[in-house]
Chains A and B, each alone.
Chain A
Amino acid sequence: MIRFIIQRLLQLIPAILISSFIIFFAMNLTGGDPAMIIAGDKASAERIEQVREEYGFNDPVPVQYIRYMAGLVRGDMGISYVTNKDVFKSFMARLPATMELAFASVFFAVLLSIPLGIYTAINQNTWKDNLGMVFALFGVSMPNFWLGLILILFFSLRLGWFPSGGRSGIISVVLPAATVGLGLAALITRTTRSAMLDVIRQDYIRTAKAKGASDRAVIYKHALGNALIPIITVIGLQLANVLTGSVLAESVFAWPGIARLIFDHISKRDTPMVTGSIILCSIMMCLVNTVVDIIYAFVDPRIKAQYVRKG
């Protein structure tokens, strides 16, 4: 099993190389001369040329890419044109805020959606099921920023229970997490419902009932245990998504996370900051997916068996 995990981690390397190359190349295509930004508005043509030479902007893109990746391995991703701060450090300074929001929203979503998914599945085609599905539809179709504003209006301006923005302790994460989480919950609810519906028709559920297992044991032990794979897949994908930031929620709640960092610096054409942040985000994405793959093996012995045989 440990060999399998190491193997999965090694497989990350090509994935990261390919994605980072695409990002790096695309950022070079976006146009705009970074030398002009660095040298300033009033710099002379000679000065700009000098900057180009100094920063290696005249080299071919692959050469620049290799130089960049060599720096990345050492944790050196360049200096922001705008703030003159180290890109890697700036990103890492914002990461905890985004992680806090991401885990809080996924936690909120899971807490809400798995019980709801199970409930709608076992009450399939009744008004309870329909009500749950209407809620799920509502969750998907509601725009994040709008929901965020409504929550602020009601819970912070009228009731004054939560701060309307910024990051100040655990209480401040509630509204943004609820905003992001509600959108996630909708999808997880639907996935849970359909996975459960699929599983509760299986023969082994009947075997469990014939043993005399209570409804509770049948649902939570036998059915949920088998429905987990698709549910974990969706949760993993969603976690990866919110880990790389939710621009709208971070903007509405003035949340100092990665998404706003990237967004702010795109508008300022700060290429090192944007390239670096996006590459780091893609690495996180790959990591989360690998973790999900590893979790599969613990949830389903059949998947584990495959890996052990191969590895």
Chain B
Amino acid sequence: MTENILEIRDLVVHYETDEGCVQAVNNINVIIGKKTILGLVGETGAGKTTTALSILNLVPNPPGIIKSGSIILNGVDVLKLPPKKMEEVRGNDVAMIFQDPMTALNPVMTIGEQIAESVMIHGERSKEKALNRAREMLEQVGIPASRSGDYPHQLSGGMRQRVVIAIALACNPKLLIADEPTTALDVTIQAQILELIKELNRKFDTSMLLITHDLGVIADVCDRVAVMYAGRIVEEGTLEEVFNDTLHPYTEGLFNSLPNLRKRGEELVPIKGMMPDPMNLPKGCAFAPRCPYTIDECTEAVPELKKIGSHLVACRRYEDKNFRLRRNS
């Protein structure tokens, strides 16, 4: 038996629209071990959310289609499950925290009912017991149980996100997917929510896929990091490996574009250009048009994810043994 909670193998997801085929996720491999927190970083449109929705088999269809690949969750390929079985997996084996807590809750149901619903879908028969469990979960996420009869509009954004977390953790999922859980919140609330997620993750022994574009969040929470660009993973390793021994030029670009207190007053260095149109990806490395290290070989074929030194990177420049990023030299 495998020790991994999640293994995504060769996943390809396209959105087939009238205008053309959007290649959102192109052949990615992700592995998450027990009690591990993997951070998935990348800019908007890199395919992070699509990857996450694929794990729940909730890619909006039409237009989204999972073209190929397999997603082994806890030893079972969820893409091959019939719809009824998939419903049992959702919320129970894998749960998701969404980006915008203002819209993620049903406005006409009390928060207690919304948590209890999840408990009842996954086996609890008695509504009374489910509501008790809901009150317990509210306490866990730091909301007084007495508020279980409140409606979402009576709560602040941070509290709503706590409710969303309570819904996700109500059935003790083995894998928690958090899709930019703090993006829509105030900075002070962000820190609280991150602390809460970390704490509950330890308490419930959950593995987690944390999607974010915020390297600060990654540094705070994650064990491992995967950097995604134009539907592909371009670098993957432990937090230390990726942060201290950055290999991919795109990852380097991400770090360079962060404001740095020690270099106050200096201009930020953004990555030049835009991400390529996912309907029309280049033949070679998708980052090549923006990459300061590009050579001719880069535009010829898509680089494969290979182990270079300590961890995995997809960059052809490492065929040259002496190649180093400026950041590392």
Contact = CB atoms under 8 A, between A and B. Distances in A.
Interface of A: 202-204, 206-215, 217, 222, 225-226, 299-302, 305
A302 B103 contact: no
B91 A212 contact: yes
B153 A203 contact: no
Contacts, number: 79
Given A203-B98, A302-B153, A305-B154, A209 B106 contact: no
B118 A212 contact: yes
A203 B151 CA distance: 16
A222 B106 contact: yes
Nearest to B94: A210
Interface string B59-94: 000000000000000000000000110011111100
Contact of A301 (B108, B121, B122): B108
Chain B interface residue bracket vs A: 20 to 34
Interface string B102-116: 011111111000000
Contact of A299 (B100, B103, B108): B108
A207 B121 contact: no
A203 B130 CA distance: 24
9 contacts: A206-B104, A207-B106, A212-B91, A226-B108, A300-B107, A301-B151, A301-B153, A302-B153, A305-B151
Given A206-B104, A210-B91, A213-B91, 12 more contacts: A203-B104, A204-B104, A204-B106, A212-B118, A215-B83, A217-B121, A222-B106, A222-B109, A301-B153, A302-B107, A302-B153, A305-B154
B103 A203 contact: yes
Nearest to B56: A210
A215 B58 CA distance: 12
Contact of A204 (B83, B89, B96, B103): B103
Nearest to A226: B108
B139 interface: no
A301 B105 CA distance: 13
A217 B117 CA distance: 10
Given A202-B103, A203-B98, A300-B107, A210 B153 contact: no
Q: Is the interface of A mostly helix, strand, loop or mixed?
A: helix
Nearest to A213: B121
B117 A213 contact: yes
B208 interface: no
Contacts of A211: 90-91, 95, 117-118, 121, 167
A207 B117 CA distance: 11
A204 B167 CA distance: 12
B164 interface: yes
A213 B103 CA distance: 18
A182 B35 CA distance: 59
A203 B103 CA distance: 6
Nearest to A302: B153
Contact of A226 (B95, B98, B106): B106
Interface centre among A203, A213, A299 (most CB of B within 10 A): A203
A283 to B, nearest CB: 32
B184 to A, nearest CB: 11
A301 B103 contact: no
Contacts of B89: 212
B154 to A, nearest CB: 7
A80 to B, nearest CB: 49
Contacts of A204: 103-107
B53 to A, nearest CB: 8
Contact of B164 (A207, A213, A225): A207
A190 B104 CA distance: 26
B87 A213 contact: yes
Nearest to B103: A203
A212 B90 contact: yes
A202 B83 CA distance: 21
Nearest to B93: A212
Given A225-B109, A301-B153, A209 B58 contact: yes
Contacts of A215: 83
A181 to B, nearest CB: 28
A214 B89 CA distance: 12
A212 B87 contact: yes
A104 to B, nearest CB: 29
